Amino acid sequence: MSTPMFFVGLDVHKETITIAVFRNRDPEPMRVDRLPNEHKRLRRYFQRLSAEGSVRACYEASGAGYVLQRALTEWGIDCELAAPSLIPRRPGEQRKTDRRDAIKIGRDFRDDRLVLIHVPTEADERVRDLVRCRETFQREIVKSRHYILKFMRRRGFIYRDGTHWTQRHLNWIRQVLAPGTLAEEDGVVLAEYLALLEYKLQRRDELDARIEALALTPRYKPLVDRIRCFRGFKTQAAMVLATELGDVRRFESPRQLMAYVGLVPGEHSSGERRRLGAITKAGNARVRHILIQAAWHYRRRPAVGATLRRRQQGQDPDVIAHAWKCQNRLYKVFHRLAAKKPKPVAATAVAREMVGFLWAVLKDIDVAQLQDTEVSRAA
């Protein structure tokens, strides 16, 4: 008698987990249980199940993170995470319960209808969260600058002598703080806004220093060095791509990577009519944002300035040649599209094509080997 295979669907919440267990290809679950979200109870449950046969489990990626997946893997259970936006749903499904969700995930997992996501190592996740923290501070800096500009405008102070947030502009703001220029309460408000901005800038700079140091480690240096050969990618942007994408080899083609970052156009076609719409915006929004920001650099004529030349120094000549080819190609694409469409649309198209160039130079880097090197170095 062959050993049964159990397919387990998990609906995970902060306090409870609903578990649906399918035996082999049975159409209905053999059991559905609801347990507290406690590792001790879950471990006993899966140990009993494993004693009866092989077990594979899956749950929907969510704010719960990868803690449960790593625990199950440690207990010898093959556990996967499903992309929530790509779980197939029937138009007539109007009822949603934890039990139904667990059964659906288990059945779809067994029938290979789920798109599974990449689970980073704990070390990679920690670095990724550090990079995300830096991006959060950058957004907060933008908010603080808006607060200051809007407050000063409400009080009739408008800067007309150049670009905002240069040293000259900051000196002008501090002059407004001079005694007698503002009412006492307004001076307190502006001083507090400035102090908050300076705090955020200081914290961001400290995070930048940590990220710069991490970019030099064996785990990230090969990826970051290649990405930095391209126009528009300094260390911070390169680290966003390196930490969010992980091993690019998991994408079989550039188009798969384009879809992952949501840069492919939506499609509404029927019969003989084919209609393409706006980009899907599915997948990793952080990478998409960085790519579109970098794409704006390609509106300028192809050139290798002093900063880019320093970044390319000592790098693989093939990668540098590829980056130069990218500049020439994307400059033409941007201006051809900008002549007939809004510039943001042109920048988005450039970002999509840029993905292909980046994929070509990153696809031969074995991230698993880099991780092993980092572990050996730490030991």
User: Residue 32 maps to which CATH number?
Assistant: 3.30.420.40
Does residue 117 lie within any of the structural domains? no
Does residue 116 lie within any of the structural domains? no
**End-to-end CA separation in angstroms for the chain:** 46
Is residue 225 domain-shared with residue 373, that is, in the same domain? Answer: yes
Is residue 99 domain-shared with residue 198, that is, in the same domain? Answer: no
Does residue 57 lie within any of the structural domains? yes
Residue pair 289/301 in contact by the 8 Å Cβ criterion: no
Rounded CA-CA distance 160/151 in Å is 16
Beta strand pairing status for 54-60 and 78-82? parallel
pLDDT of residue 368: 79
How buried is residue 87: exposed, middle or buried, by Cβ count under 10 Å (0-12/13-18/19+)?
middle
Write the single-letter amino acid at 349.
A
Rounded CA-CA distance 156/136 in Å is 31
pLDDT of residue 351: 96
SS3 for 61? coil
Q: pLDDT by residue for the chain (379 residues), tens digit each? A: 578 999 999 999 999 999 999 999 999 999 999 999 999 999 999 999 999 999 999 999 998 899 999 999 999 999 999 999 888 887 777 788 999 999 999 999 999 999 899 999 999 999 999 999 999 999 999 999 999 999 999 999 999 999 999 999 999 999 999 888 899 999 999 999 999 999 999 999 999 999 999 999 999 999 999 999 999 999 999 999 999 999 999 999 999 999 999 998 765 555 666 666 677 777 889 999 999 999 999 999 999 999 999 999 999 999 999 999 999 999 999 999 999 999 999 999 999 999 999 999 999 998 878 776 665 565 4
Is residue 145 domain-shared with residue 274, that is, in the same domain? Answer: no
Residue pair 15/25 in contact by the 8 Å Cβ criterion: no
Rounded to the nearest angstrom, the gap between the alpha carbon of residue 240 and the centroid of all alpha carbons in its chain is 7
pLDDT of residue 267: 56
Domain boundary among 65, 80, 110: 110
Is residue 105 domain-shared with residue 127, that is, in the same domain? Answer: no
Is residue 299 domain-shared with residue 272, that is, in the same domain? Answer: yes
Rounded CA-CA distance 182/187 in Å is 6
Does residue 373 lie within any of the structural domains? yes
Is residue 139 domain-shared with residue 84, that is, in the same domain? Answer: no
Is residue 126 domain-shared with residue 88, that is, in the same domain? Answer: no
pTM metric for this prediction: 0.89
Domain boundary among 170, 193, 215: 215
Domain boundary among 145, 180, 215: 215
Is residue 240 domain-shared with residue 370, that is, in the same domain? Answer: yes
Is residue 78 domain-shared with residue 159, that is, in the same domain? Answer: no
Q: Which residues pair with 17 in a beta bridge?
A: 12, 35
Domain range for 184:
122-215
pLDDT of residue 280: 73
Rounded CA-CA distance 91/83 in Å is 19
8-state DSSP, 363 = T
Does residue 226 lie within any of the structural domains? yes
Is residue 248 domain-shared with residue 188, that is, in the same domain? Answer: no
Does residue 15 lie within any of the structural domains? yes
Q: How many domains does the chain have?
A: 3
Is residue 226 domain-shared with residue 356, that is, in the same domain? Answer: yes
Does residue 115 lie within any of the structural domains? no
Is residue 271 domain-shared with residue 355, that is, in the same domain? Answer: yes
